[in-house]
Every structure is written in structure tokens, then in C-alpha cells.
């Protein structure tokens, strides 16, 4: 049976470390880290995610500001709100919760955020700095995975790493991070996606398999090398009549069978998910202490 890479436990440890640092900052008379979030519309999942981020700020001793906007807000109005937060010296980090209404360009909004306040790590400046291995805010989910690999002391140097999924939020930055010179890193990386030929064969060559394709139970045991480390980024709600709620959460990996042959694996829920918020808080702490852009 594989070692369970516990993201829930690890994220709690990280938040405790952040809270301790914030206590030190306050005791020294320094500025309390301040995260602002913009929520457009009333999407249930988005409200849940933002609520969890605000709660995590409280746990760590951060200040937080939540700006709620109607889904009828114009692109121009939203960009003005972003600009106002950019120019507000009391706010260290800014996130705009996705998805946005279809009439608003995600690219325009992302590009409007000052790189110094882009604690989501999505602006071209931060993505470019990450690729160059310069100080940067790394996107929260990839950073969370890197932190899990580090804290579970999983060897990455010289290993074959296969990433399934090429999104700008997870797959693409993950492939860059795993190939960078450092630890975790120095892996030989193959970035695959839905149109990759012989995907099953390539996946089975991986010492470290990172799955962020967005398809429930896509990776089965016959696609995994015995002893591989498997990181499951997916999260899906599927019907389950045996549950009181009528559903259960699963990942992109068929956990029950893959956990029998992998050496280590992240569960869903409780694996990568909790690390995303912890990483966002860590980036905000870096912003408050001006450790990336000075």
C-alpha cells in the first residue's frame, strides 16, 4: 500500500508556520499581511473557495478584504477595481476568483494586476520569472505540489516525471518547476495532454506521475509503473447512492487500484486541494515582506 501524501496535514503545518511568522512581524511592529479577493457573481463553488481563503487569512492573522461585484459588472468597471487595489499600499496581495463572466476577458484582468501583488502567480511577469528560476510568485497549486514533494522527501533529481494536462494554472507551470535546477526539480519531464499518442505507455514510464487532466478516474493501475509517486490534482463530484449526500469526491486517478502499486499517492479529497490555499497565503506573506520584488 502506498504512502498517503497528506495535504490536509501539511497545509495545517504550513499555516501554523505562517501564523507564527505573522505573530513575530506584529511583535516587531511590522505590517500585517493583507490579502484582497475580488468575487464576481454568485457562483456557488467560487463563493465557497473565496470563503475558505478569507477564513484561512483569519487563521494566520492576516487582514483580508473581499470585494463582491455583480455578474453584470462591465469589464471596464472590474479593471478599475483592480487598478484601485493595485494602488492601495495597505494591500499586499490580490486575487480575482475565476471563472469570470463570459463578457470579461480573463487575460485583460490578469494582465492588469501588478506583478508585485499577483499572489496567484498568473501574470506574464511571474510566469516568466518562474520559468527563468528567478524569484517569483509561483501559481498556488503547482507550488503546493512542490512543497508536498519536498516535505515528504521524494527524490526528483534524474527521475522521469510525466505531467498529464497542459493548463496554464497547473500542467504547464508544473512541467517547468520539475525541470528547473534545484530541489524539487532536476527531473526529466514529459508534458502530455488529451491529444498525446501512446499516453498510457508514456504514463507508465513515469517515476513521478502528476495528473491534472480534469477527467474522473482517467488514470488506472495499468497506466502506472509499480513504485511510482502519483500526484492527483483532479477533483470531481460523482453520484454515490451509498452516501448520505448522494455523491462523493474523486480525482483524476482511480485511487483504490493505483494506491496498491504506487509508492506514494495524494488522496482526493485531502491531497493537493488544501495545499492551494496554504500556498496562496505563503505568497501573500512573501509579498508583505517584499521578498520577491523587494
Q: Which residue has the cell 498517503?
A: 4
Question: Does residue 95 sit in the same domain as residue 208?
Answer: no
Question: Does residue 79 sit in the same domain as residue 160?
Answer: no
Give 132-156 pLDDT, tens digit per residue.
999 999 999 999 999 999 999 999 9
Residue 284 binned pLDDT confidence (cut-offs 50, 70, 90): very high
Question: Does residue 94 sit in the same domain as residue 145?
Answer: no
pLDDT at residue 194, rounded to an integer: 87
Question: Does residue 256 sit in the same domain as residue 145?
Answer: yes
- Among candidate residues 114, 149, 173, the one where a domain is terminated: 114
Contact in structure between 208 and 161 (CB atoms under 8 Å): yes
Question: Does residue 262 sit in the same domain as residue 157?
Answer: yes
Question: Does residue 109 sit in the same domain as residue 144?
Answer: no
Q: Respond yes or no on whether the N-terminal peptide bond of residue 98 is cis (omega within 30° of 0).
A: no
pLDDT at residue 243, rounded to an integer: 87
Q: List the grid coordinates of 32.
A: 500585517
Residue 182 in domain: yes
Residue 17: how many other CB atoms lie within 10 Å = 14
> How many Cα atoms occupy the beta-carbon half-sphere of 272 within 13 Å?
25
Question: Does residue 171 sit in the same domain as residue 80?
Answer: no
Contact in structure between 211 and 268 (CB atoms under 8 Å): no
pLDDT at residue 189, rounded to an integer: 98
Residue 206 binned pLDDT confidence (cut-offs 50, 70, 90): very high
Helix axes 140-151, 7-27, angle to 10 degrees: 100
Give the domain extent around 79: 28-114
Residue 43 binned pLDDT confidence (cut-offs 50, 70, 90): confident
Asked whether residue 235 is marked as a ligand-binding residue, the answer is yes
Contact in structure between 240 and 247 (CB atoms under 8 Å): yes
Residue 52 in domain: yes
Residue 12 in domain: no
Cα distances (Å, whole numbers) of residue 205 to 142, 201, 202, 229: 21, 7, 5, 12
Catalytic positions: 53, 97, 120
Residue 66 in domain: yes
The pLDDT mean for the chain works out to 96
Q: What is the mean pLDDT of residues 179-202?
A: 96
pLDDT at 8 over 90: yes
Question: What is the share, in percent, of the chain residues with pLDDT greater than 70?
Answer: 100
Residue 104 binned pLDDT confidence (cut-offs 50, 70, 90): very high
- From 117-121, 134-138, 197-201, 247-251, the region with the lowest mean pLDDT: 247-251
Give 219-236 pLDDT, tens digit per residue.
999 999 999 999 999 999
Question: Does residue 154 sit in the same domain as residue 257?
Answer: yes
Indicate yes or no: pTM above 0.85.
Answer: yes
Asked whether residue 165 is marked as a ligand-binding residue, the answer is yes
Residue 294 binned pLDDT confidence (cut-offs 50, 70, 90): confident
pLDDT at 34 over 90: yes
Question: Does residue 221 sit in the same domain as residue 152?
Answer: yes
Contact in structure between 212 and 170 (CB atoms under 8 Å): yes
Question: Does residue 82 sit in the same domain as residue 145?
Answer: no
Residue 96 maps to which CATH number?
A: 3.40.50.10860
How far apart CA 222 and CA 224 sit, in angstroms, is 6
- Among candidate residues 114, 149, 172, the one where a domain is terminated: 114
Question: Does residue 164 sit in the same domain as residue 248?
Answer: yes
Question: Does residue 63 sit in the same domain as residue 183?
Answer: no
Residue 85 in domain: yes
Question: What is the share, in percent, of the chain residues with pLDDT greater than 90?
Answer: 93
Domain count of the fold of the chain: 2
pLDDT at residue 4, rounded to an integer: 98
pLDDT at 245 over 90: no
Asked whether residue 167 is marked as a ligand-binding residue, the answer is yes
Asked whether residue 251 is marked as a ligand-binding residue, the answer is no
Q: List the grid coordinates of 43.
A: 457562483
Residue 240 binned pLDDT confidence (cut-offs 50, 70, 90): confident
Give 50-101 pLDDT, tens digit per residue.
999 999 999 999 999 999 999 999 999 999 999 999 999 999 999 999 999 9
Residue 172 binned pLDDT confidence (cut-offs 50, 70, 90): very high
Intra-chain end-to-end CA distance of the chain, in Å: 46
Residue 238 maps to which CATH number?
A: 3.40.50.720
Q: What is the mean pLDDT of residues 272-283?
A: 96
Residue 150 in domain: yes
Amino acid at each position: 500500500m502506498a504512502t498517503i501524501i497528506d495535504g490536509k496535514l501539511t497545509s495545517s503545518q504550513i499555516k501554523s508556520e505562517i501564523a507564527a511568522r505573522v505573530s513575530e512581524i506584529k511583535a516587531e511592529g511590522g505590517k500585517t499581511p493583507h490579502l484582497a479577493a475580488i468575487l464576481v457573481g454568485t457562483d456557488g463553488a467560487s463563493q465557497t473557495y473565496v470563503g475558505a481563503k478569507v477564513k484561512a487569512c483569519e487563521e494566520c492573522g492576516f487582514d483580508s478584504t473581499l470585494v463582491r461585484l455583480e455578474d453584470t459588472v462591465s469589464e471596464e468597471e472590474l479593471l478599475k477595481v483592480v487598478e484601485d487595489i493595485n494602488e492601495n499600499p495597505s494591500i499586499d496581495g490580490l486575487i480575482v476568483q475565476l471563472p469570470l463572466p463570459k463578457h470579461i476577458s480573463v487575460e485583460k484582468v490578469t494582465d492588469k494586476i501588478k506583478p508585485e501583488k499577483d499572489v496567484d502567480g498568473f501574470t506574464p511577469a511571474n510566469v516568466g520569472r518562474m520559468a527563468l528560476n528567478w524569484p517569483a510568485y509561483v501559481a498556488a497549486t503547482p507550488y503546493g505540489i512542490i512543497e508536498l514533494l519536498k516535505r515528504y522527501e521524494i527524490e526528483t533529481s534524474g527521475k522521469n516525471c510525466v505531467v498529464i494536462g497542459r493548463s496554464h494554472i497547473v500542467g504547464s507551470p508544473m512541467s517547468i518547476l520539475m525541470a528547473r535546477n534545484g530541489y524539487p526539480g532536476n527531473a526529466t519531464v514529459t508534458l502530455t495532454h488529451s491529444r498525446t499518442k501512446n499516453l498510457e505507455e508514456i504514463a507508465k514510464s513515469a517515476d513521478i506521475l502528476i495528473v491534472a487532466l480534469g477527467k474522473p478516474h482517467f488514470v488506472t493501475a495499468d497506466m502506472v509503473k509499480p513504485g511510482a509517486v502519483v500526484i492527483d490534482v483532479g477533483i470531481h463530484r460523482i453520484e454515490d447512492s451509498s452516501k448520505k449526500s448522494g455523491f462523493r469526491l474523486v480525482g483524476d486517478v482511480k485511487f483504490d487500484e493505483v494506491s496498491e502499486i504506487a509508492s506514494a499517492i495524494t488522496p482526493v479529497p485531502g491531497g493537493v486541494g488544501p495545499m492551494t490555499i496554504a500556498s496562496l497565503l505563503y505568497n501573500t506573506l512573501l509579498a508583505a515582506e517584499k521578498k520577491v520584488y523587494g
